[in-house]
Amino acid sequence: MDHAATTPVAPEVLEAMNPYFSEKFGNSASLHYFGREAENALEDARRYIAKFFGVKPEEIFFTSGGTEADNLALKGIASAFGKGHIITSQIEHHAILHTAKWLENHGFDVTYLPVDKYGFVNPEDVEKTIRKDTILVSIMHANNEIGTIEPIEEIGKICRKYGVYFHTDAVQTVGKIPIPTKNIDLLSSSAHKLYGPKGVGLLYIKNGVKIEPIQHGGGHERGMRSGTENVAGIVGFAKAIELAKKHMDKEAKRLSALRDELIKETLKIGDSWLNGHPTKRLPGNAHFGFKFIEGEALILLLDEMGIAASTGSACSSKSLKPSHVLTAIGLKPEEAHGSLRLTLGKDNNEEDIKYAADAIQDVVEKLRKISPFKK
Ligand code: PLP
């Protein structure tokens, strides 16, 4: 129940990738037969993925994952403009926040918009914050910790109105919910969140966007991202998207029902609450707060019972600092520490939900009995 951290590679994806490790091992830049074979696979994947997003194949740039796509979006635009103002939110993934911080250290001005108690960015705040020198707005499609789905259509419209580029980190939403690409100029995605392999992602860059590469070399990906393409990974990414497209609507409904059942059962525990919005959240995401306990202890006891869960994002789960997302929605540090994220995926079923809900109840009771905070 930690599918927001990563997902298993689907058997069909593995099967599609397999030949590209051995018999079809060519470098897509080579002119000979093996190179052409790899290039054909690469371009087929690019065409397929572009069609899925409703964009042009030449607007898809493959990267090593979501982190690199986010870095390329922010640093690439910043580099093309040389100076200016960037707007993002306080609840972005660290791939955005740490990149923005780095840009601040290199002379750019960054505004980190606050969010409300559900984690929503207010589009009006975006509009009020846009300045003459604003070069980019970057707001995630859905938050990886609390699952809140941001109003990116409205934000995109505002950016378009002011002629400011709009980037969205859609790492948690591609293949899970529809992506409204209409007013988006740049979009990050990563294969391993949708039953594809780790280490492959993409940045969609709308034709005409002023951006410079941040990685230089042999000129792959039309000069935007040098480095021999991960052909097997990219073929797997396309297959993962094909599977997601086929099952998306049905799976979103199924996961939402399981999620709601889990939320209903878990909130029967006293002094507990749901983080994020009750309905405008990712289909598989349930994120709870419990008074008087430590999330880490909860995770370890659940792990002993065979349940893989998380306190927040996988990247920050080894740090003892309260999550920046939970503090941004207004939780006190002690409230943020008692949190639990369960993210459901294709192999979870009703039986798992029942088992998890019972287990959480047992473990919370057990921990509260020994809690020094509970009188
Ligand atoms: N952005 C979001 C919202 C994420 O959830 C993640 C992964 O946790 C990333 C970016 C980073 O993606 P990757 O693991 O492919 O580098």
pLDDT of residue 375: 61
Residue 214 clears pLDDT 50, i.e. is over it: yes
Classify domain 11-243 at the CATH topology level: Aspartate Aminotransferase; domain 2 (3.40.640)
For the chain, residues classed under CATH 3.90.1150.10 are 248-369
Is the Cβ–Cβ distance between 143 and 173 less than 8 Å?
A: no
Nearest to 185 by CA among 63, 65, 43, 72: 72
CA 21/CA 156 separation, integer angstroms: 40
For the chain, residues classed under CATH 3.40.640.10 are 11-243
Distance 66 CA to ligand 1 centre (A): 5
How many C-beta neighbours within 10 Å does residue 17 have?
24
The stretch 118-131 carries a mean pLDDT of 98
pLDDT of residue 322: 86
Torsion sign across C-alpha atoms 288, 291, 294, 297: negative
Is the Cβ atom of 325 under 6 angstroms away from ligand 1?
no
Is the Cβ atom of 338 under 6 angstroms away from ligand 1?
no
Residue to mutate (ligand 1; options 94, 144, 281, 285; most atoms within 8 A of CB): 144
Share of the chain above pLDDT 90, in %: 93
Distance 343 CA to ligand 1 centre (A): 15
pLDDT of residue 275: 98
Q: Is the CATH number 3.30.460.10 carried by domain 248-369?
A: no
- For ligand 1, what atom is nearest to the CA of residue 142? 3
Nearest residue (by CA) to ligand 1, atom 5, is 144
User: Which tens digit of pLDDT belongs to each residue from 270-323?
Assistant: 999 999 999 999 999 999 999 999 899 999 999 999 999 998 644 444 566 789
Q: How many residues does the chain have?
A: 375
CB-based burial label for 107 (10 Å; 0-12, 13-18, 19+):
exposed
User: Which tens digit of pLDDT belongs to each residue from 30-68?
Assistant: 999 999 999 999 999 999 999 999 999 999 999 999 999
Catalytic residue positions, numbered? 315
The stretch 202-225 carries a mean pLDDT of 97
Residue to mutate (ligand 1; options 9, 74, 172; most atoms within 8 A of CB): 172
- For ligand 1, what atom is nearest to the CA of residue 198? 15
User: Which tens digit of pLDDT belongs to each residue from 141-181?
Assistant: 999 999 999 999 999 999 999 999 999 999 999 999 999 99
